[in-house]
């Protein structure tokens, strides 16, 4: 079961009525992606992967060539 809730003043408040017996222990999973500051695209591993390639000037050219001349 997934329950949407809002965290306010130290308490998780369900956004809709919940059919759980009073006093039931639950675990709360908070996705870290919502807590973490968005990373810059420059920090990702694929940035600059064509920098040393003479046959691929940029990613757009590479994708267009794959569409025009599929390898498989």
- Rounded to the nearest integer, the mean pLDDT of the chain is 82
pLDDT at 23: 92
Q: What are the φ/ψ torsions at residue 66 (nearest 5 degrees)?
A: -65, -40
Beta bridge partners of 8: 11
- In the chain, how many domains are there? 1
pLDDT at 63: 85
pLDDT at 17: 93
Query: Please, what's the largest Cα pairwise distance for the chain?
Result: 66
Residue 11: domain span: 5-68
Tell me how far apart the alpha carbons of residues 45 and 29 are, in angstroms, rounded to a whole number: 28
pLDDT at 61: 82
Q: Considering the entire predicted model, what is its pTM?
A: 0.40
Q: pLDDT under 70 in the chain at which residues?
A: 33-38, 72
Residue with the two structure tokens 């017996």: 21
């Amino acid at each position: 079961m997934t329950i949407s809730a809002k965290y306010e003043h130290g308490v998780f408040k369900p956004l809709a009525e919940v059919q759980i017996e009073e006093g039931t222990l639950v675990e709360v999973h908070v996705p870290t992606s919502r807590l973490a500051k968005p990373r810059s695209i420059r920090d990702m591993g694929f940035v600059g992967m064509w920098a040393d390639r003479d046959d691929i000037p940029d990613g757009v050219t590479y994708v267009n060539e794959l569409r025009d001349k599929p390898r498989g």
